[in-house]
Amino acid sequence: MARFALPIAIAVMLVAGCARTPSPQDVALSYSRALYANDGDAIWSLVSSADRRAKDGATFRRQQQIVEGFAWELLAQLGGYVSATPVATSVRGDRARVTLRLRLPDANAAAISDLAHGWDEKTLNELPAAARARIRTGLERLHTTGSMPIVEGEESFDLIREHSGWRMYLDWARGVRIELTAVHDPALPLRVAVAPASPTVARGERLRVTLSVTNLGEREIETRVSHRIEPDSDSGHLALLQCPLLLPVRLRPGDTREFVSEYLLLADAPEALETLRVTYRFPGPSSRGQSRRSWSRSYQPPP
């Protein structure tokens, strides 16, 4: 399956001249499938012009989790099995709100995960063509026989009608700003970079953060990394989905390593919430109990 298969399929659905104009429900379902498949290009093609003005494509793609090769192809195949039943639709002029009851393949269920080798990307991407074909066939069999493990739930979507048709209105301009900062013990000769620096994230949107750490010293460094979300009263609205920093970090002289964390800004985050601060800390061997003021700030997002 080619990397561009899902975006092209969506584009054909949206512009086919002889077919009916895709309804808000159609577009919301296509968006749900693209989200499931983690297809940044397809998601971007369905986003409104107003949202694109609030966040450029490069920034959007940096925030997405990167899944490549055969692992992505399997996600795209599963994404095609996502189905929906309309629950409610309200259209007022050029605005629409759609509620769908979604049925999504449970990728973590044993019936799927075992076929996908536990979703180990390295293993999947090294499989020969015959093994890949068996996995695709196995997933298709689960789907056609009604044996596919499914998770269900309702989700509401806002859309706006543009010249080219209905598009998802995610209201990125009124999202929550996430300020990312890394600090380290002055005794540690580290250079730390955080990307993106200060993204704006819509409610219900995922955020992918890359922490690049370089040992500038002449000796091996071992440290642990902690992170804190502030203010504490609002920290529960930003869920940590993936974090490889819980284990000790060991760097040889001159080494650079990248660590990717993934967050989800919950859809029910209050409208009054404008900013959250995430701080990554690299403590030294004797830094316990130090005041925060004595730490070296490796990166400060712009005001």
> Same domain, yes or no, for 193 and 155?
no
Residues 6+ apart with CB under 8 A from 296: 183, 184, 185, 186
How many Å apart are CA 34 and CA 67, to the nearest integer?
13
Dist CA 212 CA 205 (whole Å): 23
What are 182-222's pLDDT values in tens digits? 988 888 899 999 988 888 888 878 888 888 899 999 999 88
Identify whether the C-beta of residue 195 lies closer than 8 Å to the C-beta of residue 62. Answer: yes
- pLDDT over threshold 70, residue 133: yes
How many domains does one find in the chain?
A: 2
> Last residue of a domain, which of 120, 153, 170?
170
**Can you state the angle between helices 129-144 and 69-79, rounded to 10 degrees?**
20
What single-letter amino acid sits at 278? V
**Which of 127, 147, 170 is the last residue before a domain boundary?**
170
The yes-or-no verdict on residue 290 having pLDDT over 70 is no
Q: What pTM was computed for the model?
A: 0.68
Based on the domain organization, do 197 and 159 belong to the same domain? no
Do 208 and 152 fall into the same domain? no
pLDDT tens-digit readout, 6-58 = 544 444 454 444 457 899 999 999 999 998 888 888 999 999 999 999 888 88
Helices (H) and strands (E) in the chain, counts: 9, 15
135 and 217 both lie in a single domain: no
CB 252 within 8 Å of CB 215: yes
CATH number of the structural domain spanning residue 205? 2.60.370.10
- Angle between the N-to-C axes of helices 24-36 and 5-15, in degrees from 0 to 180, rounded to the nearest 10: 180
Residue-number span of the structural domain to which 271 is assigned: 175-299
